[in-house]
Structure 1
Amino acid sequence: MSTDALDVIQAEIAGVLARVDRAMVERAAAVLDGAGRIFVAGAGRSGFMAEAFAMRLVHLGFRVHVVGETTAPSLASEDIVVAVSGSGTTAGTLRSAQEAVRVGGHVLAVTTDADSPLVEQARTVLLVPAATKHRRADETATVQPLSSLFDQSVHLLFDAVCLRLAELRDVDNTAARSAHVTTE
Protein backbone atom coordinates (compact mmCIF):
# COMPACT_ATOMS: atom_id res chain seq x y z
CA MET A 1 0.00 0.00 0.00
CA SER A 2 1.42 3.37 -1.06
CA THR A 3 1.24 6.43 1.17
CA ASP A 4 1.15 10.03 0.10
CA ALA A 5 4.65 11.46 0.67
CA LEU A 6 3.35 14.98 1.33
CA ASP A 7 0.97 13.71 4.01
CA VAL A 8 3.78 11.74 5.66
CA ILE A 9 6.17 14.70 5.65
CA GLN A 10 3.49 17.08 6.92
CA ALA A 11 2.58 14.71 9.76
CA GLU A 12 6.22 14.25 10.76
CA ILE A 13 6.89 17.99 10.81
CA ALA A 14 3.65 18.64 12.74
CA GLY A 15 4.74 16.07 15.32
CA VAL A 16 8.09 17.80 15.82
CA LEU A 17 6.66 21.32 15.97
CA ALA A 18 4.02 20.23 18.50
CA ARG A 19 6.83 19.23 20.87
CA VAL A 20 8.94 22.40 20.52
CA ASP A 21 9.13 24.47 23.69
CA ARG A 22 7.52 27.78 22.68
CA ALA A 23 9.50 29.60 25.37
CA MET A 24 12.70 28.63 23.53
CA VAL A 25 11.37 30.19 20.32
CA GLU A 26 10.45 33.37 22.21
CA ARG A 27 13.85 33.46 23.94
CA ALA A 28 15.67 33.05 20.60
CA ALA A 29 13.71 35.98 19.15
CA ALA A 30 14.38 38.14 22.22
CA VAL A 31 18.12 37.43 22.13
CA LEU A 32 18.35 38.16 18.40
CA ASP A 33 16.27 41.32 18.74
CA GLY A 34 19.04 42.82 20.85
CA ALA A 35 21.87 41.72 18.56
CA GLY A 36 24.43 44.03 17.06
CA ARG A 37 25.64 41.55 14.47
CA ILE A 38 24.45 38.02 13.83
CA PHE A 39 26.56 35.28 12.30
CA VAL A 40 25.02 32.01 11.12
CA ALA A 41 26.91 28.73 10.95
CA GLY A 42 26.01 25.25 9.76
CA ALA A 43 27.13 22.57 7.34
CA GLY A 44 25.30 20.80 4.54
CA ARG A 45 21.52 21.21 4.51
CA SER A 46 21.63 22.64 8.03
CA GLY A 47 23.94 25.30 6.62
CA PHE A 48 21.40 26.05 3.90
CA MET A 49 18.73 26.50 6.56
CA ALA A 50 21.07 28.87 8.41
CA GLU A 51 21.69 30.83 5.20
CA ALA A 52 17.95 31.09 4.49
CA PHE A 53 17.52 32.42 8.02
CA ALA A 54 20.31 34.95 7.45
CA MET A 55 18.58 36.18 4.31
CA ARG A 56 15.31 36.74 6.11
CA LEU A 57 17.08 38.48 9.01
CA VAL A 58 18.55 40.93 6.50
CA HIS A 59 15.02 41.64 5.27
CA LEU A 60 14.08 42.43 8.86
CA GLY A 61 16.89 44.97 9.18
CA PHE A 62 19.61 42.96 10.94
CA ARG A 63 23.34 43.01 10.22
CA VAL A 64 24.02 39.38 9.31
CA HIS A 65 27.00 37.37 8.09
CA VAL A 66 27.45 33.75 7.07
CA VAL A 67 30.42 32.04 8.71
CA GLY A 68 32.88 30.92 6.05
CA GLU A 69 31.92 33.55 3.47
CA THR A 70 34.84 35.67 2.30
CA THR A 71 33.11 38.90 3.32
CA ALA A 72 32.42 37.80 6.91
CA PRO A 73 34.33 39.94 9.44
CA SER A 74 35.99 38.61 12.57
CA LEU A 75 33.78 37.89 15.57
CA ALA A 76 33.54 40.36 18.44
CA SER A 77 32.14 40.19 21.95
CA GLU A 78 28.84 41.84 20.97
CA ASP A 79 28.10 39.27 18.27
CA ILE A 80 25.70 36.34 18.27
CA VAL A 81 26.48 33.12 16.43
CA VAL A 82 23.46 31.04 15.46
CA ALA A 83 24.98 27.57 15.21
CA VAL A 84 22.85 24.91 13.51
CA SER A 85 23.77 21.23 13.92
CA GLY A 86 21.29 18.41 14.36
CA SER A 87 23.76 16.28 16.28
CA GLY A 88 25.44 19.22 17.99
CA THR A 89 28.79 17.73 17.01
CA THR A 90 29.46 19.07 13.50
CA ALA A 91 33.13 20.05 13.65
CA GLY A 92 33.07 23.36 11.74
CA THR A 93 29.88 24.55 13.41
CA LEU A 94 31.25 23.65 16.82
CA ARG A 95 34.50 25.53 16.05
CA SER A 96 32.47 28.64 15.17
CA ALA A 97 30.63 28.41 18.48
CA GLN A 98 33.87 27.93 20.38
CA GLU A 99 35.37 30.99 18.69
CA ALA A 100 32.33 33.05 19.64
CA VAL A 101 32.74 31.99 23.26
CA ARG A 102 36.48 32.71 23.12
CA VAL A 103 35.87 36.33 22.11
CA GLY A 104 33.01 36.77 24.59
CA GLY A 105 30.19 36.47 22.08
CA HIS A 106 26.84 34.75 22.44
CA VAL A 107 25.96 31.36 20.95
CA LEU A 108 22.42 30.38 20.03
CA ALA A 109 22.55 26.61 19.46
CA VAL A 110 19.93 24.97 17.25
CA THR A 111 20.12 21.21 17.69
CA THR A 112 18.33 18.00 18.68
CA ASP A 113 20.72 17.07 21.47
CA ALA A 114 20.50 18.96 24.78
CA ASP A 115 23.68 17.21 25.97
CA SER A 116 25.81 17.97 22.90
CA PRO A 117 29.14 19.81 22.79
CA LEU A 118 27.36 22.60 20.88
CA VAL A 119 24.89 23.16 23.72
CA GLU A 120 27.81 23.31 26.16
CA GLN A 121 29.02 26.42 24.26
CA ALA A 122 25.60 28.08 24.11
CA ARG A 123 23.92 30.71 26.24
CA THR A 124 20.65 30.17 24.37
CA VAL A 125 19.32 26.90 22.97
CA LEU A 126 16.54 26.07 20.54
CA LEU A 127 15.95 22.33 20.83
CA VAL A 128 14.37 20.70 17.79
CA PRO A 129 13.01 17.25 18.71
CA ALA A 130 13.59 15.74 15.26
CA ALA A 131 15.66 12.97 13.72
CA THR A 132 19.19 13.42 12.42
CA LYS A 133 21.24 11.25 10.10
CA HIS A 134 22.58 9.41 13.17
CA ARG A 135 19.18 7.91 14.13
CA ARG A 136 20.01 7.76 17.84
CA ALA A 137 17.59 5.85 20.05
CA ASP A 138 16.12 9.04 21.58
CA GLU A 139 15.42 10.72 18.23
CA THR A 140 12.00 11.04 16.63
CA ALA A 141 11.18 8.30 14.15
CA THR A 142 11.06 9.32 10.49
CA VAL A 143 10.83 7.65 7.11
CA GLN A 144 12.76 10.49 5.50
CA PRO A 145 16.45 10.12 4.73
CA LEU A 146 19.28 11.59 6.75
CA SER A 147 18.47 14.90 8.51
CA SER A 148 15.52 15.91 6.34
CA LEU A 149 13.07 16.13 9.25
CA PHE A 150 15.48 18.24 11.31
CA ASP A 151 16.20 20.62 8.43
CA GLN A 152 12.54 21.04 7.50
CA SER A 153 11.61 21.73 11.10
CA VAL A 154 14.49 24.18 11.57
CA HIS A 155 13.38 26.13 8.51
CA LEU A 156 9.87 26.52 9.93
CA LEU A 157 11.15 27.37 13.41
CA PHE A 158 13.40 30.05 11.95
CA ASP A 159 10.38 31.45 10.12
CA ALA A 160 8.52 31.52 13.45
CA VAL A 161 11.44 33.41 15.04
CA CYS A 162 11.41 35.86 12.12
CA LEU A 163 7.67 36.37 12.44
CA ARG A 164 8.17 37.24 16.12
CA LEU A 165 11.08 39.54 15.25
CA ALA A 166 8.96 41.29 12.62
CA GLU A 167 6.36 41.89 15.33
CA LEU A 168 8.93 43.17 17.81
CA ARG A 169 10.47 45.51 15.23
CA ASP A 170 7.22 46.50 13.54
CA VAL A 171 8.44 45.28 10.15
CA ASP A 172 5.64 44.57 7.70
CA ASN A 173 5.86 43.10 4.20
CA THR A 174 6.41 46.54 2.63
CA ALA A 175 9.37 47.27 4.91
CA ALA A 176 10.84 43.80 4.42
CA ARG A 177 10.43 44.08 0.67
CA SER A 178 12.37 47.36 0.65
CA ALA A 179 15.35 45.44 2.11
CA HIS A 180 15.02 42.62 -0.44
CA VAL A 181 17.88 42.22 -2.90
CA THR A 182 17.54 44.21 -6.11
CA THR A 183 20.58 42.86 -7.95
CA GLU A 184 19.22 39.42 -8.78
Structure 2
Amino acid sequence: MSGGYAEARDLILKELAGALGNVEETEVSRLVRMICDAEKVFVVGVGRVLLMLQALAKRLNHLGIEANFVGAIDEPAITDRDLLLVGSGSGESAVPLAIVKIAKRYNAKIAHIGSNPNSSMAEYEDLFVRVPCRTKLNLPGEIASQQPMSSLFEQSLLLLGDTVAMLVMQEKGLDDLHALWKKHANLE
Protein backbone atom coordinates (compact mmCIF):
# COMPACT_ATOMS: atom_id res chain seq x y z
CA MET A 1 0.00 0.00 0.00
CA SER A 2 1.53 3.30 -1.06
CA GLY A 3 -1.39 5.72 -0.76
CA GLY A 4 -2.36 8.05 2.02
CA TYR A 5 -5.13 8.28 4.57
CA ALA A 6 -8.05 7.60 2.19
CA GLU A 7 -6.50 4.41 0.84
CA ALA A 8 -5.63 3.11 4.31
CA ARG A 9 -9.12 3.97 5.61
CA ASP A 10 -10.82 2.20 2.72
CA LEU A 11 -8.63 -0.88 3.18
CA ILE A 12 -9.43 -1.07 6.89
CA LEU A 13 -13.17 -0.61 6.34
CA LYS A 14 -13.17 -3.28 3.61
CA GLU A 15 -11.33 -5.73 5.86
CA LEU A 16 -13.69 -4.99 8.76
CA ALA A 17 -16.73 -5.56 6.57
CA GLY A 18 -15.31 -8.94 5.54
CA ALA A 19 -14.46 -10.00 9.08
CA LEU A 20 -17.70 -8.87 10.73
CA GLY A 21 -19.72 -10.13 7.77
CA ASN A 22 -18.49 -13.63 8.59
CA VAL A 23 -19.63 -13.60 12.24
CA GLU A 24 -22.61 -15.89 12.79
CA GLU A 25 -25.68 -13.98 13.95
CA THR A 26 -26.90 -16.92 16.03
CA GLU A 27 -23.64 -16.93 18.00
CA VAL A 28 -23.98 -13.20 18.71
CA SER A 29 -27.60 -13.68 19.79
CA ARG A 30 -26.52 -16.39 22.22
CA LEU A 31 -23.79 -14.10 23.59
CA VAL A 32 -26.30 -11.30 24.17
CA ARG A 33 -28.57 -13.74 26.02
CA MET A 34 -25.67 -14.98 28.17
CA ILE A 35 -24.71 -11.41 29.06
CA CYS A 36 -28.26 -10.49 29.99
CA ASP A 37 -28.69 -13.66 32.06
CA ALA A 38 -25.43 -13.28 33.98
CA GLU A 39 -25.28 -11.81 37.45
CA LYS A 40 -21.84 -10.39 36.62
CA VAL A 41 -19.72 -10.33 33.48
CA PHE A 42 -15.94 -10.63 33.59
CA VAL A 43 -13.67 -9.96 30.63
CA VAL A 44 -10.15 -11.24 30.04
CA GLY A 45 -7.62 -10.87 27.26
CA VAL A 46 -4.12 -9.55 26.83
CA GLY A 47 -2.71 -6.43 25.20
CA ARG A 48 -4.91 -4.59 22.73
CA VAL A 49 -7.55 -7.35 22.95
CA LEU A 50 -8.00 -6.56 26.64
CA LEU A 51 -8.41 -2.86 25.83
CA MET A 52 -11.25 -3.71 23.42
CA LEU A 53 -12.94 -5.88 26.05
CA GLN A 54 -12.51 -3.19 28.71
CA ALA A 55 -14.41 -0.83 26.39
CA LEU A 56 -17.24 -3.39 26.24
CA ALA A 57 -17.19 -3.85 30.04
CA LYS A 58 -17.48 -0.07 30.48
CA ARG A 59 -20.43 0.04 28.09
CA LEU A 60 -22.16 -2.89 29.83
CA ASN A 61 -21.89 -1.01 33.12
CA HIS A 62 -23.58 1.95 31.42
CA LEU A 63 -26.39 -0.46 30.51
CA GLY A 64 -26.85 -1.59 34.10
CA ILE A 65 -24.90 -4.86 33.81
CA GLU A 66 -22.13 -5.34 36.35
CA ALA A 67 -19.01 -5.93 34.29
CA ASN A 68 -15.41 -6.26 35.48
CA PHE A 69 -12.06 -7.02 33.97
CA VAL A 70 -9.91 -9.76 35.40
CA GLY A 71 -7.01 -8.32 37.35
CA ALA A 72 -8.69 -5.05 38.33
CA ILE A 73 -8.05 -4.00 41.91
CA ASP A 74 -11.79 -4.09 42.66
CA GLU A 75 -12.50 -7.40 40.89
CA PRO A 76 -15.12 -9.43 42.80
CA ALA A 77 -15.27 -13.23 43.03
CA ILE A 78 -16.66 -15.13 40.06
CA THR A 79 -19.52 -17.60 40.70
CA ASP A 80 -21.70 -20.05 38.84
CA ARG A 81 -24.12 -17.21 38.08
CA ASP A 82 -21.50 -15.26 36.14
CA LEU A 83 -20.07 -15.09 32.62
CA LEU A 84 -16.39 -14.93 31.70
CA LEU A 85 -15.99 -13.33 28.27
CA VAL A 86 -12.60 -14.19 26.78
CA GLY A 87 -10.96 -12.51 23.83
CA SER A 88 -8.18 -14.44 22.13
CA GLY A 89 -7.81 -14.77 18.39
CA SER A 90 -5.70 -17.91 18.58
CA GLY A 91 -7.31 -19.26 21.75
CA GLU A 92 -3.82 -20.21 22.86
CA SER A 93 -2.77 -17.11 24.85
CA ALA A 94 -1.41 -18.39 28.16
CA VAL A 95 -3.07 -15.97 30.59
CA PRO A 96 -6.61 -16.11 29.18
CA LEU A 97 -6.39 -19.91 28.91
CA ALA A 98 -5.32 -20.18 32.57
CA ILE A 99 -8.16 -17.85 33.65
CA VAL A 100 -10.69 -19.89 31.65
CA LYS A 101 -9.66 -23.04 33.51
CA ILE A 102 -9.99 -21.30 36.89
CA ALA A 103 -13.41 -19.82 36.02
CA LYS A 104 -14.66 -23.23 34.92
CA ARG A 105 -13.73 -24.66 38.35
CA TYR A 106 -16.23 -22.15 39.78
CA ASN A 107 -18.81 -23.25 37.20
CA ALA A 108 -18.94 -19.85 35.52
CA LYS A 109 -20.19 -19.74 31.95
CA ILE A 110 -17.43 -19.17 29.38
CA ALA A 111 -17.88 -17.29 26.10
CA HIS A 112 -14.84 -17.02 23.85
CA ILE A 113 -14.54 -14.57 20.98
CA GLY A 114 -11.73 -15.71 18.72
CA SER A 115 -10.69 -17.03 15.35
CA ASN A 116 -9.60 -20.57 16.13
CA PRO A 117 -12.55 -22.91 16.84
CA ASN A 118 -10.17 -25.77 17.68
CA SER A 119 -8.12 -23.95 20.29
CA SER A 120 -7.12 -25.20 23.73
CA MET A 121 -10.05 -23.18 25.13
CA ALA A 122 -12.65 -25.15 23.17
CA GLU A 123 -13.17 -27.83 25.82
CA TYR A 124 -14.07 -25.18 28.44
CA GLU A 125 -16.32 -22.93 26.33
CA ASP A 126 -20.08 -22.70 26.60
CA LEU A 127 -20.08 -20.49 23.50
CA PHE A 128 -17.57 -19.70 20.78
CA VAL A 129 -18.11 -16.60 18.64
CA ARG A 130 -15.85 -16.81 15.62
CA VAL A 131 -14.33 -13.70 14.09
CA PRO A 132 -12.25 -15.37 11.36
CA CYS A 133 -9.30 -12.94 11.26
CA ARG A 134 -5.70 -13.96 10.76
CA THR A 135 -4.00 -14.97 14.00
CA LYS A 136 -0.41 -15.64 14.94
CA LEU A 137 -1.12 -19.28 14.01
CA ASN A 138 -2.01 -18.40 10.38
CA LEU A 139 -4.63 -21.17 10.14
CA PRO A 140 -6.73 -22.09 7.09
CA GLY A 141 -9.98 -20.16 6.84
CA GLU A 142 -8.62 -17.01 8.47
CA ILE A 143 -9.21 -13.73 6.65
CA ALA A 144 -5.94 -12.22 5.49
CA SER A 145 -5.15 -8.64 6.42
CA GLN A 146 -2.71 -6.04 5.16
CA GLN A 147 -2.72 -4.41 8.61
CA PRO A 148 -0.04 -5.11 11.18
CA MET A 149 -0.25 -8.25 13.28
CA SER A 150 -3.73 -8.79 14.78
CA SER A 151 -5.11 -5.27 14.19
CA LEU A 152 -8.08 -6.60 12.21
CA PHE A 153 -9.12 -8.92 15.04
CA GLU A 154 -8.81 -6.16 17.64
CA GLN A 155 -10.81 -3.69 15.54
CA SER A 156 -13.45 -6.33 14.86
CA LEU A 157 -13.65 -7.11 18.57
CA LEU A 158 -14.30 -3.45 19.42
CA LEU A 159 -17.04 -3.10 16.81
CA LEU A 160 -18.56 -6.47 17.70
CA GLY A 161 -18.65 -5.28 21.33
CA ASP A 162 -20.51 -2.13 20.32
CA THR A 163 -22.93 -4.25 18.29
CA VAL A 164 -23.49 -6.54 21.28
CA ALA A 165 -24.13 -3.48 23.47
CA MET A 166 -26.81 -2.26 21.06
CA LEU A 167 -28.43 -5.70 21.09
CA VAL A 168 -28.31 -5.78 24.90
CA MET A 169 -30.10 -2.42 24.88
CA GLN A 170 -32.82 -3.89 22.67
CA GLU A 171 -33.08 -7.01 24.83
CA LYS A 172 -33.44 -4.93 27.99
CA GLY A 173 -35.80 -2.39 26.40
CA LEU A 174 -33.40 0.50 26.99
CA ASP A 175 -34.65 3.00 24.44
CA ASP A 176 -34.09 6.25 26.37
CA LEU A 177 -30.57 7.05 25.19
CA HIS A 178 -30.43 10.21 27.30
CA ALA A 179 -31.08 8.22 30.50
CA LEU A 180 -27.94 6.16 29.89
CA TRP A 181 -25.81 9.23 30.68
CA LYS A 182 -26.82 8.86 34.34
CA LYS A 183 -24.43 5.89 34.59
CA HIS A 184 -21.61 7.60 32.73
CA ALA A 185 -18.55 8.77 34.69
CA ASN A 186 -19.07 12.32 35.92
CA LEU A 187 -15.77 13.07 37.65
CA GLU A 188 -14.31 14.45 34.46
TM class by shorter chain equals over 0.9
> Are 2:108 and 1:105 equivalent residues in the alignment?
yes
CA deviations 1:13-33 (Å, max 9, x no partner) are 001111111111111001111
**Structure 1 residues 124 and 137, CA, compared in 2 at 3 Å: closer, same or farther?**
closer
- The separation in 2 between residues aligned to 1:113 and 1:132, in whole angstroms, is 8
Which moves more between the two structures, 67-76 or 54-63?
A: 67-76
Contact 2:133 2:142 in 1 (8 A): yes
Question: What does 1:67-146 align with in structure 2 at a 5 Å threshold?
Answer: 67-146=70-149
Tell me by how many angstroms 1:53 deviates.
Answer: 0.5
Instruction: Determine which of 15, 28, 31 is the counterpart of 1:28.
Output: 31
Equivalence for 1:62: 65
- The separation in 1 between residues aligned to 2:138 and 2:186, in whole angstroms, is 42
> Are 2:179 and 1:162 equivalent residues in the alignment?
no
Instruction: Determine which of 156, 173, 176 is the counterpart of 2:177.
Output: 173
Name the SS of the counterpart of 1:114 in structure 2.
Answer: coil
Name the SS of the counterpart of 2:117 in structure 1.
Answer: coil
When the two chains are superposed, the root-mean-square deviation of aligned CA atoms in Å is: 1.3
Equivalence for 2:2: 2
Equivalence for 1:47: 50
Contact 2:111 2:127 in 1 (8 A): yes
Contact 1:132 1:149 in 2 (8 A): no
Tell me by how many angstroms 1:138 deviates.
Answer: 3.3
Equivalence for 1:183: 187
Name the SS of the counterpart of 1:77 in structure 2.
Answer: coil
Name the SS of the counterpart of 1:40 in structure 2.
Answer: strand
Name the SS of the counterpart of 1:72 in structure 2.
Answer: coil
> Are 2:145 and 1:152 equivalent residues in the alignment?
no
Letter of the structure 2 residue corresponding to residue 121 of structure 1: Y
Name the SS of the counterpart of 2:147 in structure 1.
Answer: coil
Gaps of 5+ in 2: none
- TM-score when scaled to structure 1? 0.95
Contact 2:83 2:109 in 1 (8 A): yes
- The separation in 1 between residues aligned to 2:100 and 2:180, in whole angstroms, is 29
Contact 2:132 2:141 in 1 (8 A): no
Which moves more between the two structures, 92-101 or 39-48?
A: 92-101
CA deviations 1:108-128 (Å, max 9, x no partner) are 111101001122211011111
- The separation in 2 between residues aligned to 1:2 and 1:147, in whole angstroms, is 21
Aligned residues: 184
Letter of the structure 2 residue corresponding to residue 17 of structure 1: L
- TM-score when scaled to structure 2? 0.93
- The separation in 1 between residues aligned to 2:111 and 2:140, in whole angstroms, is 25
